Amino acid sequence: QVQLVQSGAEVKKPGASVKVSCKASGYTFTSYDINWVRQATGQGLEWMAWMTPNSGNTGYAQKFQGRVTMTRNTSISTAYMELSSLRSEDTAVYYCARYYGSGGIRWFDSWGQGTLVTVSS
Amino acid sequence: QTVVTQESSFSVSPGGTVTLTCGLSSDSVSTNFHPSWYQLTPGQAPRTLVYSTNIRSSGVPDRFSGSILGNKAALTITGAQADDESDYYCVLFLGSGIWVFGGGTKLTVL
Protein backbone atom coordinates (compact mmCIF):
# COMPACT_ATOMS: atom_id res chain seq x y z
CA GLN A 1 0.00 0.00 0.00
CA VAL A 2 1.04 3.58 -0.57
CA GLN A 3 2.91 5.00 2.39
CA LEU A 4 4.67 8.28 3.09
CA VAL A 5 6.87 8.23 6.18
CA GLN A 6 8.30 11.49 7.43
CA SER A 7 11.31 12.22 9.58
CA GLY A 8 11.00 12.95 13.27
CA ALA A 9 10.32 16.10 15.22
CA GLU A 10 12.84 18.93 15.14
CA VAL A 11 13.65 21.82 17.43
CA LYS A 12 15.43 24.75 15.81
CA LYS A 13 16.56 28.20 16.82
CA PRO A 14 15.32 31.31 15.04
CA GLY A 15 17.34 31.95 11.91
CA ALA A 16 18.28 28.32 11.42
CA SER A 17 17.11 25.94 8.69
CA VAL A 18 15.26 22.66 8.89
CA LYS A 19 15.12 19.82 6.40
CA VAL A 20 12.22 17.37 6.61
CA SER A 21 12.21 14.11 4.68
CA CYS A 22 9.33 12.11 3.23
CA LYS A 23 10.08 8.52 2.22
CA ALA A 24 7.65 6.95 -0.23
CA SER A 25 6.86 3.28 -0.57
CA GLY A 26 4.25 1.10 -2.24
CA TYR A 27 4.40 2.88 -5.60
CA THR A 28 6.83 4.25 -8.19
CA PHE A 29 8.19 7.39 -6.55
CA THR A 30 8.91 9.18 -9.81
CA SER A 31 5.35 8.78 -11.09
CA TYR A 32 3.59 11.17 -8.70
CA ASP A 33 4.23 14.72 -7.55
CA ILE A 34 4.88 15.39 -3.88
CA ASN A 35 3.42 18.44 -2.16
CA TRP A 36 4.06 19.98 1.26
CA VAL A 37 1.37 21.40 3.51
CA ARG A 38 1.75 22.79 7.01
CA GLN A 39 -0.44 23.61 9.98
CA ALA A 40 1.08 26.24 12.21
CA THR A 41 0.15 26.18 15.86
CA GLY A 42 -3.42 27.42 16.23
CA GLN A 43 -3.69 28.08 12.53
CA GLY A 44 -5.20 26.40 9.50
CA LEU A 45 -3.74 24.32 6.72
CA GLU A 46 -1.35 26.08 4.35
CA TRP A 47 -0.09 24.75 1.01
CA MET A 48 3.62 25.36 0.57
CA ALA A 49 5.17 23.64 -2.43
CA TRP A 50 5.14 20.91 -5.07
CA MET A 51 7.81 18.85 -6.80
CA THR A 52 7.83 16.43 -9.70
CA PRO A 53 10.31 13.75 -8.56
CA ASN A 54 10.99 12.58 -12.11
CA SER A 55 12.28 15.94 -13.32
CA GLY A 56 12.99 17.77 -10.09
CA ASN A 57 10.74 20.62 -11.21
CA THR A 58 9.30 22.58 -8.31
CA GLY A 59 6.77 25.26 -7.52
CA TYR A 60 6.37 27.27 -4.36
CA ALA A 61 3.67 29.36 -2.75
CA GLN A 62 4.46 33.03 -3.05
CA LYS A 63 4.64 33.36 0.73
CA PHE A 64 7.54 30.91 0.92
CA GLN A 65 9.46 31.90 -2.20
CA GLY A 66 13.14 32.29 -1.35
CA ARG A 67 12.85 30.39 1.93
CA VAL A 68 11.70 26.92 0.90
CA THR A 69 13.49 24.39 -1.26
CA MET A 70 12.24 20.98 -2.32
CA THR A 71 14.69 18.32 -3.44
CA ARG A 72 14.60 14.57 -3.88
CA ASN A 73 16.75 11.44 -3.97
CA THR A 74 15.11 9.06 -6.38
CA SER A 75 17.43 6.19 -5.46
CA ILE A 76 15.84 6.04 -2.03
CA SER A 77 12.37 7.33 -3.00
CA THR A 78 12.64 10.30 -0.67
CA ALA A 79 11.55 13.89 -1.02
CA TYR A 80 12.88 16.72 1.12
CA MET A 81 11.57 20.10 2.15
CA GLU A 82 14.03 22.60 3.53
CA LEU A 83 12.82 25.82 5.14
CA SER A 84 15.37 28.49 5.99
CA SER A 85 15.48 31.65 8.10
CA LEU A 86 13.12 30.06 10.58
CA ARG A 87 11.02 32.23 12.86
CA SER A 88 8.64 31.41 15.65
CA GLU A 89 5.67 31.59 13.27
CA ASP A 90 7.12 28.60 11.41
CA THR A 91 6.42 26.37 14.40
CA ALA A 92 4.07 23.90 12.76
CA VAL A 93 3.33 20.37 11.76
CA TYR A 94 4.60 19.81 8.23
CA TYR A 95 2.97 17.19 6.01
CA CYS A 96 4.02 15.71 2.71
CA ALA A 97 1.25 14.53 0.42
CA ARG A 98 1.13 12.60 -2.83
CA TYR A 99 -0.67 14.36 -5.65
CA TYR A 100 -2.87 12.40 -7.99
CA GLY A 101 -3.81 14.15 -11.20
CA SER A 102 -5.35 12.16 -14.00
CA GLY A 103 -8.58 11.83 -15.92
CA GLY A 104 -9.92 15.14 -14.70
CA ILE A 105 -9.33 14.26 -11.06
CA ARG A 106 -6.86 16.10 -8.85
CA TRP A 107 -6.29 15.52 -5.18
CA PHE A 108 -3.84 14.60 -2.47
CA ASP A 109 -4.49 10.90 -2.17
CA SER A 110 -1.98 9.97 0.50
CA TRP A 111 -0.44 11.88 3.38
CA GLY A 112 2.58 11.50 5.59
CA GLN A 113 2.11 11.34 9.33
CA GLY A 114 3.39 14.87 9.88
CA THR A 115 6.57 16.31 11.35
CA LEU A 116 6.48 18.83 14.17
CA VAL A 117 9.03 21.59 13.77
CA THR A 118 9.42 23.84 16.79
CA VAL A 119 11.25 27.13 16.44
CA SER A 120 12.37 28.45 19.78
CA SER A 121 15.30 30.28 21.25
CA GLN B 1 -3.38 37.41 -3.85
CA THR B 2 -6.07 34.76 -4.08
CA VAL B 3 -8.03 34.19 -0.90
CA VAL B 4 -10.23 31.17 -0.29
CA THR B 5 -13.09 31.94 2.05
CA GLN B 6 -14.91 29.67 4.49
CA GLU B 7 -17.31 30.35 7.32
CA SER B 8 -15.29 30.65 10.51
CA SER B 9 -17.79 28.64 12.51
CA PHE B 10 -21.06 26.81 12.13
CA SER B 11 -23.43 25.01 14.44
CA VAL B 12 -25.75 22.10 13.71
CA SER B 13 -28.08 20.00 15.83
CA PRO B 14 -27.54 16.24 16.03
CA GLY B 15 -29.37 14.68 13.10
CA GLY B 16 -29.52 17.99 11.29
CA THR B 17 -28.11 19.07 7.96
CA VAL B 18 -25.42 21.66 7.47
CA THR B 19 -23.73 23.04 4.36
CA LEU B 20 -20.26 24.51 4.57
CA THR B 21 -19.07 26.65 1.70
CA CYS B 22 -15.78 27.50 0.03
CA GLY B 23 -15.47 30.62 -2.09
CA LEU B 24 -12.89 32.62 -3.96
CA SER B 25 -12.18 36.29 -3.37
CA SER B 26 -11.75 37.01 -7.08
CA ASP B 27 -13.72 34.40 -8.99
CA SER B 28 -16.50 31.86 -8.92
CA VAL B 29 -15.58 28.35 -7.85
CA SER B 30 -16.23 25.75 -10.50
CA THR B 31 -15.30 22.11 -10.95
CA ASN B 32 -12.15 23.35 -12.69
CA PHE B 33 -10.79 24.21 -9.25
CA HIS B 34 -11.15 20.58 -8.12
CA PRO B 35 -12.29 21.46 -4.60
CA SER B 36 -11.37 19.00 -1.88
CA TRP B 37 -12.61 18.90 1.69
CA TYR B 38 -10.66 17.75 4.73
CA GLN B 39 -11.55 17.02 8.31
CA LEU B 40 -8.88 17.83 10.87
CA THR B 41 -8.48 15.95 14.10
CA PRO B 42 -5.71 17.01 16.52
CA GLY B 43 -2.65 14.82 16.21
CA GLN B 44 -3.71 13.23 12.94
CA ALA B 45 -3.05 13.90 9.29
CA PRO B 46 -5.92 15.57 7.44
CA ARG B 47 -8.69 13.16 6.53
CA THR B 48 -9.92 13.57 2.97
CA LEU B 49 -13.71 13.61 2.82
CA VAL B 50 -14.41 14.70 -0.74
CA TYR B 51 -12.18 15.50 -3.72
CA SER B 52 -12.62 16.89 -7.21
CA THR B 53 -15.87 18.52 -6.14
CA ASN B 54 -18.01 15.51 -5.33
CA ILE B 55 -16.03 12.27 -5.15
CA ARG B 56 -16.27 10.78 -1.70
CA SER B 57 -13.01 9.34 -0.41
CA SER B 58 -12.85 5.66 0.50
CA GLY B 59 -14.49 4.88 3.82
CA VAL B 60 -16.22 8.25 4.18
CA PRO B 61 -19.89 7.91 5.18
CA ASP B 62 -22.42 8.93 2.56
CA ARG B 63 -23.79 11.63 4.86
CA PHE B 64 -20.89 13.73 3.52
CA SER B 65 -21.37 15.08 0.03
CA GLY B 66 -19.70 17.71 -2.12
CA SER B 67 -21.12 20.00 -4.76
CA ILE B 68 -21.01 23.40 -6.39
CA LEU B 69 -23.71 25.73 -5.02
CA GLY B 70 -23.97 28.97 -6.89
CA ASN B 71 -20.45 30.34 -7.11
CA LYS B 72 -18.98 28.28 -4.28
CA ALA B 73 -17.95 24.74 -3.50
CA ALA B 74 -20.02 23.14 -0.78
CA LEU B 75 -19.74 20.31 1.71
CA THR B 76 -23.06 19.07 3.04
CA ILE B 77 -23.37 16.87 6.10
CA THR B 78 -26.76 15.20 6.29
CA GLY B 79 -27.74 13.69 9.61
CA ALA B 80 -24.90 15.21 11.60
CA GLN B 81 -23.43 13.13 14.39
CA ALA B 82 -21.57 14.14 17.50
CA ASP B 83 -18.25 12.97 16.16
CA ASP B 84 -18.64 15.25 13.14
CA GLU B 85 -17.71 18.09 15.46
CA SER B 86 -14.38 19.12 14.01
CA ASP B 87 -12.52 21.61 11.84
CA TYR B 88 -13.18 21.41 8.10
CA TYR B 89 -10.94 22.80 5.38
CA CYS B 90 -11.41 23.17 1.68
CA VAL B 91 -8.62 23.52 -0.85
CA LEU B 92 -8.77 24.76 -4.43
CA PHE B 93 -6.45 24.03 -7.35
CA LEU B 94 -5.43 27.26 -9.08
CA GLY B 95 -3.37 25.65 -11.85
CA SER B 96 0.39 25.34 -12.43
CA GLY B 97 0.61 23.08 -9.40
CA ILE B 98 -0.65 25.77 -7.04
CA TRP B 99 -3.23 25.04 -4.33
CA VAL B 100 -4.79 27.35 -1.77
CA PHE B 101 -6.54 26.30 1.44
CA GLY B 102 -9.41 28.10 3.00
CA GLY B 103 -9.21 29.33 6.56
CA GLY B 104 -11.30 26.46 7.88
CA THR B 105 -14.71 26.13 9.52
CA LYS B 106 -15.12 25.02 13.10
CA LEU B 107 -18.26 22.89 13.22
CA THR B 108 -20.10 22.43 16.49
CA VAL B 109 -22.73 19.73 16.90
CA LEU B 110 -25.12 20.58 19.72
Q: In this predicted model, what pLDDT tens digit does every residue of B1-16 receive, in sequence order?
A: 889 999 999 999 999 9
Q: Which residues of A touch B87 (CB under 8 A)?
A: 44
* C-alpha span between A83 and A19 (Å, rounded): 7
Chain-chain contact of B89 with A44 (C-beta, under 8 angstroms): yes
Q: Contact B94/B102 with Cβ under 8 angstroms?
A: no
Nearest CA distance, B55 vs chain A (angstrom): 9
Q: Contact A19/A70 with Cβ under 8 angstroms?
A: no
User: Which of B58, B78, B82 is closest to B67 using CA atoms?
Assistant: B78
Residue A65 has pLDDT above 90, yes or no: yes
| CA A19 to the chain's CA centroid | 9
Helix (H), strand (E), coil (C) string for chain A: CCEEEECCCEEECCCCCEEEEEEEECCCHHHCEEEEEEEECCCCEEEEEEECCCCCCEEECHHHCCCEEEEEEHHHCEEEEEECCCCHHHCEEEEEEEEEEECCEEEEEEECCCEEEEECC
* C-alpha span between B11 and B84 (Å, rounded): 11
Chain-chain contact of A108 with B48 (C-beta, under 8 angstroms): yes
| pLDDT tens digits, B63-108 | 999 999 999 999 999 999 999 999 999 999 999 999 999 999 999 9
Res. A103 pLDDT band, cuts 50 70 90: confident
* C-alpha span between A44 and B9 (Å, rounded): 13
Is the minimum CB–CB distance between B45 and chain A shorter than 8 Å? yes
| pLDDT tens digits, B48-67 | 999 999 999 999 999 999 99
Residue B26 has pLDDT above 90, yes or no: no
Amino acid at site A4: L
Nearest CA distance, A46 vs chain B (angstrom): 6
Looking at residue B84, its pLDDT comes to 97
| CA A90 to the chain's CA centroid | 13
Q: Contact B14/B109 with Cβ under 8 angstroms?
A: yes
Q: Which residues of A touch B52 (CB under 8 A)?
A: 104-107
Give the three-state DSSP class for B48.
Answer: strand
* C-alpha span between B99 and B110 (Å, rounded): 33
Q: Phi then psi for B35, rounded to 5 degrees?
A: -60, 135
Is the minimum CB–CB distance between B10 and chain A shorter than 8 Å? no
Q: What is the mean pLDDT of chain A?
A: 96
Averaged pLDDT, B27-31: 95
Is the minimum CB–CB distance between B97 and chain A shorter than 8 Å? yes
Residue B42 has pLDDT above 90, yes or no: no
Chain-chain contact of A106 with B102 (C-beta, under 8 angstroms): no
Chain-chain contact of A106 with B93 (C-beta, under 8 angstroms): yes
CA A69 to each of CA A21, A37, A96, B106: distance values in angstroms, whole numbers, following the listed order: 12, 13, 13, 32
CA closest to A41 among chain B residues:
B42
Q: Which residues of B touch A35 (CB under 8 A)?
A: 99
CA B91 to each of CA A79, A108, B37, B44, B53: distance values in angstroms, whole numbers, following the listed order: 22, 10, 7, 18, 10
Q: Which residues of B touch A50 (CB under 8 A)?
A: 97-98
| pLDDT tens digits, A5-62 | 999 999 999 999 999 999 999 999 999 999 999 999 889 999 999 999 999 999 999 9
Res. B22 pLDDT band, cuts 50 70 90: very high
Nearest CA distance, A82 vs chain B (angstrom): 18
